[in-house]
Amino acid sequence: MIVNPTEEVAAEEYAKCAANEWYWMCNYVKIIDRRTDQVIPFQPWKHLFDVWKQYRNHRRIVILKARQVGMSWFWAAMALHRGIFKSYSNTILLSINQPKAIDLRKKSYDIWTHLPDWMRIPSGKDNQEILDFPSMDSQIKSLPAKPDSVRGESAGLIVLD
């Protein structure tokens, strides 16, 4: 991780991160280990890399997953990547109920708070349901997975956790 880069190095690194989510996750994303409450680097496990490759190559993917395999953190990072690197991005995070959806959005927020200062663009609205980035006109929205939750919404990424 580059902490205090020159402007030129920061621009190069920013471009690398914008172009490749996996590079960004492996080099800059930190997550919170809920068992120890410690901030730790994102764990680039092979199964997560395989999911990332599927995401890059297919419009829709469905994953049958176990718990505690890093998948929620992975998708929270993917949502944040879109929010801070892709203009006009709307990402929707769905979960079984609103509190669980809020927990997923909070993971994106936790990742954002631990990015290096030079990479952390300002957030605008930050409440339990929405995290937005006005300079990119992008947002991450958490909703319960109910039949009408996404009616009228359009999104570049929808995650059902």
Residues facing 132 on adjacent strands: 139
* Stretch 70-88: mean pLDDT: 94
Residue 80 in any domain: the answer is: yes
Residue 127 in any domain: the answer is: yes
Backbone angles phi, psi at 39, to 5 degrees: -85, 125
Residue tagged 């929620």 (tokens): 72
> Under 8 Å CB-to-CB from 106, ≥6 apart: which residues?
none
Residue 2 in any domain: the answer is: no
* pLDDT category of residue 37 using cuts at 50, 70 and 90: very high
Residue 1 in any domain: the answer is: no
Q: Give the pLDDT score at 68.
A: 63
User: Could you give the number of structural domains in the chain?
Assistant: 1
Q: Are 19 and 13 in contact (CB under 8 A)?
A: no
CATH number for 80? 3.40.50.300
Q: What is the pLDDT of residues 56-70, one digit of tens each?
A: 888 777 766 656 678
Q: What percent of the chain has pLDDT over 70?
A: 96
Residue 132 in any domain: the answer is: yes
Residue tagged 């993971």 (tokens): 107
Most confident option among 36-50, 55-69, 147-161: 36-50
CB atoms within 10 A of CB 153: 11
Alpha-helical regions (H) of the chain: 7-19, 21-28, 46-57, 71-85, 98-113
Is the predicted pLDDT of residue 25 greater than 90, yes or no?
Answer: yes
Residue 136 in any domain: the answer is: yes
Q: Give the pLDDT score at 66.
A: 59
Which residues form the domain of 141?
7-160
Q: Give the pLDDT score at 154.
A: 79
Is the predicted pLDDT of residue 74 greater than 80, yes or no?
Answer: yes
Residue 61 in any domain: the answer is: yes
The overall average pLDDT reported for the chain is 89
Q: Is 49 strand, coil or helix?
A: helix
Q: Are 26 and 42 in contact (CB under 8 A)?
A: yes
Residue 95, both tokens:
């979960």
Q: Is 142 strand, coil or helix?
A: strand
Q: What is the pLDDT of residues 116-128, one digit of tens each?
A: 999 999 999 778 8
Tally of helices (H runs) and strands (E runs) in the chain: 5, 6
Residue 131 in any domain: the answer is: yes
The DSSP secondary-structure symbol of 21 reads H
Task: Cite the beta strand spans of 102-149 per DSSP E.
Answer: 130-133, 138-144
* Stretch 64-86: mean pLDDT: 87
Q: Give the pLDDT score at 157.
A: 83
Question: What pTM was computed for the model?
Answer: 0.90
